[in-house]
Amino acid sequence: MAYYHCLLFDVDGTLLDFSASEQAALKETFEHYGFERKKEMQARYAEINASLWAALERGEIKQDKLVIQRFEMLFQEFQVKAKPAEVNEFYLSQLAARADAFEGVQELLQELAEVATLAVVTNGVERVQKKRLEQAGLTKYFDGFFISSKVGATKPSRKIFDAALRELGVENREKVLMIGDSVKADIVGGKNAGLATCWCNFSGQDSAGTVKATYTIEHLQELMNIVMEPEELVNVGNPEKRHQI
């Protein structure tokens, strides 16, 4: 049996390369609307968006307000005449069209799904996240999708984790691992829910002063050594033999 029987995954920055998707979607959006100073606007948008998502995690703003306000703030700063809600809709459609999965993600999930229950726990926009996961060919590996706007709770609140585990029928939290790239949302959230946590530090961030995760990985493939027992690792790539353990 695997060390962890249930794996909860964040999406952006964990399974999918959100930075690549965001940049491409913004480029398409700004070109579509003919905005000038596109590079400056793109860089400033990323800063504004990050600050608003941090506010969401603190419970200071709702997602439906966030997605509009980020463009309101951007357009005001650059004195752009455009409708924030309309631009946001176009941007989300472009974002949803991009999968940009990290290398080896599908093969990894295929192996992990043989030994554990997999589910998504994300604060992202529901229609965007589901479409991107579907386009990346990843939805088939998950037994549940728990999205903050649908659940009515945002990471790091333990409520979203409680809802996920309740629906998945998981009672033993010692066998659950939360995996994500955000210390404030994923690691703090997992700890709030009494779960082991795995910080995906793919960019080599300085961990000093951050909440300590149970595990820290620099490559997603390292998860197999955390989740699987030696007997299962030997049979990676051969699910039929692994079922006989």
DSSP assignment, residue 211? P
- Kindly report, residue by residue over 71-111, the tens digit of the pLDDT: 999 999 999 999 999 999 999 999 999 989 999 999 999 99
Length of the chain, in residues: 245
Q: Which one is predicted more confidently, 3 or 238?
A: 3
Query: Of 122, 124, 225, nearest to 179 (Cα)?
Result: 122
Say if residue 230 is preceded by a cis peptide, omega within 30 of 0: no
- 94 contacts 24 by C-beta, under 8 angstroms: yes
**Which residues, listed in sequence order, are joined to residue 117 by a DSSP beta bridge?**
6
pLDDT in tens, 158-176: 999 999 999 999 999 999 9
- Can 10 be counted among the known catalytic residues? yes
Locate tokens 């037994």: which residue? Answer: 143
